[in-house]
Amino acid sequence: MKILVVDDSLLDRKLLIRILMKSGISQEILQAEDGEQAMEMLAVNYAEIGLVLLDWQMPKISGIELMAGMVKIPELSKIPVIMVTASGSDENKRAAHQVNPQLAGYLVKPYKPEELLAAIKPYLR
């Protein structure tokens, strides 16, 4: 299993990955810096990617747009997605759940490492 981390902020990606590494997870981590790059990675690696950690606000294709597309693509619709975003309004949360009723989690930045780990734990294989 691979974990795909999608965030346009290098710092945020590094932070997230450091938390994952420190917690001793063994899964390979892929990174994309926008929705478009993520889409290209998903197109090739969809069979191995078992979890997507997805930022909302990104250039080219935003997180919510990518997720809306994933839901409609049979090969990608089963991949659990956790939104990791700075926009924590109830409205946005509802919108995310509306776009993807199977949404695996919604983490608001800044998050605590243990929140992140608790959110991803059920999906690790």
* Residue 48 interacting with other proteins (CB under 8 A): yes
40 scored as a contact of other proteins (CB under 8 A): yes
Under rule CB under 8 A, residue 88 binds other proteins: no
Q: Please say whether the beta carbons of 41 and 61 come within 8 A.
A: no
> Which of the stretches 21-29, 73-81, 104-112, 116-124 binds other proteins when contact is defined by CB under 8 A?
73-81
Task: Report, in Å, the least distance between residue 49 CB and other proteins.
Answer: 10
Residue with token string 């938390």 = 19
Q: Pick from 17, 27, 29, 60: which binds other proteins (CB under 8 A)? A: 60
- Of 46, 59, 58, 48, nearest to 83 by C-alpha is 58
* Per-position DSSP letters for 101-114, written without gaps between them: TT--EEEESS--HH
Pairing of strands 2-6, 49-54: parallel
The span of 19-27, 65-73, 101-109, 110-118 binding other proteins (CB under 8 A) equals: 65-73
* Contact call for residue 94 and other proteins (CB under 8 A): yes
Cβ atoms within 10 Å, residue 54: 29
Relative orientation angle of helices 35-45 and 63-72, to the nearest 10 degrees: 30
10 binds other proteins (CB under 8 A): no
Q: List residues binding other proteins (CB under 8 A).
A: 1, 35-36, 39-40, 42-44, 46-48, 57, 59-62, 64-66, 68-69, 71-73, 75-76, 87, 89, 91-92, 94-95, 98-99
